[in-house]
Amino acid sequence: MKFPLVSVIIPTYNREHLLVDAVESVLSQTFKDYELIVVDDGSTDGTEEIIKRKYDGKIRYFKQENQGISGARNRGIREAKGEYIAFLDSDDLWLPEKLEKQVAFLDSHPEVGLICTKLWRYAIGKESEKRLCPEYFSAEFKDLLVSNNYVPTTTVMVRKECLDQIGLFDTNLSVAEDFDLWLRFMKRFKVHCLEDVLAVHREHPQKTSLNMKKLYNGYAQFYKKVIRLYAGEIPSRSLFVKRAAAYEYLLGTEELRDGNSKSAVKHIGEALSRSLTFGTYFFNGESNFIEKAKLLLKPYAAFAVSGFKSVFGSAR
């Protein structure tokens, strides 16, 4: 049996209003030797009905209990039959030559394990305000490490054999799971970014309304993992320690705002135990002396307030 060269993986969760556009952008590709896998991560809207009604026989559709984006992508990878794996988020789009150009490059550059492209990013309804992403790309591990992740997942194509060696998306990370995987890729394989703009990232309210506690905790866990795995390779270890501490602190402030003073003490205390000066992480070029002093001292005030409330609030 002849397997497709490329497996396209679209994870989705309650995106029936956007998924069709994503699917159509795949079906419109000039390169045709692919399979399209849609992993429905427990949608409660009309996703399943739309897929079966419009695309029966054109898509390999898998529905599972909600496991998060990493669990859905990993399911797609395990089901994939292709030599190359390409990822597309269900609210994003590809331009018609995306697969063709990436396959041509990987076929002619066997030393490259991951290839991405540029994309346009805009908020739905504000297409005229589109921005180019990434503005900067480097194939150097340390450059990616100190960045805020300049590899857009929706543009990525990888060799499946590389994933077999380094593992899949980390399901323990609620954010930055893609960043984590790209770091592992760069440690082992060469990566490349085409200058062509071959995808579109669409921002919408549902996408940006994140649970702040989950967001802060996710980034705290991610930076702790980075420190643990790459301690000897981080150009500025103190920066990453401050990043982890800053997100731990922000999580603590959310807990304090919600009245969970004991949890707030725990998180803010852990932040301060990691770095007594992590407040400098919040500095910007316009911060004056007084503003910097406030940013440095604010965590201590929050720790004192949460400690006071945890003791005297529980004593009532």
Tell me which residue of 300, 259, 257, 254 sits closest to 277, measured CA to CA. 300
* Separation of alpha carbons 160 and 231, rounded Å: 28
Q: What are the Cα distances from residue 72, in Å, to 20, 172, 268?
A: 18, 13, 33
The count of residues in the chain is 316
**Predicted confidence band at 208 (pLDDT cuts at 50, 70, 90)?**
very low
* Separation of alpha carbons 6 and 153, rounded Å: 16
Q: Tell me the per-residue pLDDT of 242-285, one tens digit each, with 9 for 90 and over.
A: 889 999 999 998 998 888 888 888 998 898 998 888 887 776 66
- Greater confidence (146 vs 218) lies with 218
Q: Tell me the per-residue pLDDT of 72-89, one tens digit each, with 9 for 90 and over.
A: 999 999 999 999 999 999
Rg (Cα) of the chain, in Å, rounded? 22
Q: Hey, what domains does the chain have and what are their CATH numbers?
A: 6-208 (3.90.550.10), 212-313 (no CATH)
Tell me which residue of 178, 180, 185 sits closest to 163, measured CA to CA. 185
Q: Tell me the per-residue pLDDT of 103-116, one tens digit each, with 9 for 90 and over.
A: 999 999 999 999 99
Query: 12-46: buried (b, 16+ CB within 10 Å) or exposed (e) per residue?
Result: bbbbbebbbebbebbeebebeebbbbbbbbbbeee
* Separation of alpha carbons 160 and 225, rounded Å: 24
Residues 66 and 41: beta-carbon distance below 8 Å: yes
Q: For residue 221, what pLDDT is reported?
A: 95
Residues 95 and 81: beta-carbon distance below 8 Å: no
Tell me what the pLDDT averaged over the chain comes to.
89
Q: Which residue stretches of the chain are H helix?
A: 16-27, 47-55, 68-79, 98-108, 141-146, 160-166, 177-188, 205-208, 212-230, 237-257, 261-274, 289-308
Angle CA 181–185–189, to nearest 5? 175
* Separation of alpha carbons 57 and 53, rounded Å: 10
What is the value of pTM for the model shown? 0.87
* Separation of alpha carbons 77 and 171, rounded Å: 14
Helix (H), strand (E) at residue 189:
none
Q: Is the peptide bond before 134 cis (omega within 30 degrees of 0)?
A: yes
**Predicted confidence band at 59 (pLDDT cuts at 50, 70, 90)?**
very high
* Separation of alpha carbons 298 and 61, rounded Å: 50
Per-residue DSSP letters for 72-101? HHHHHHHH--SSEEEE--TT-EE-TTHHHH
Tell me which residue of 188, 176, 308, 306 sits closest to 252, measured CA to CA. 306
User: Any idea which of 65-79, 166-180, 301-315 has the lowest mean pLDDT?
Assistant: 301-315
Structure tokens belonging to residue 306: 């949460």
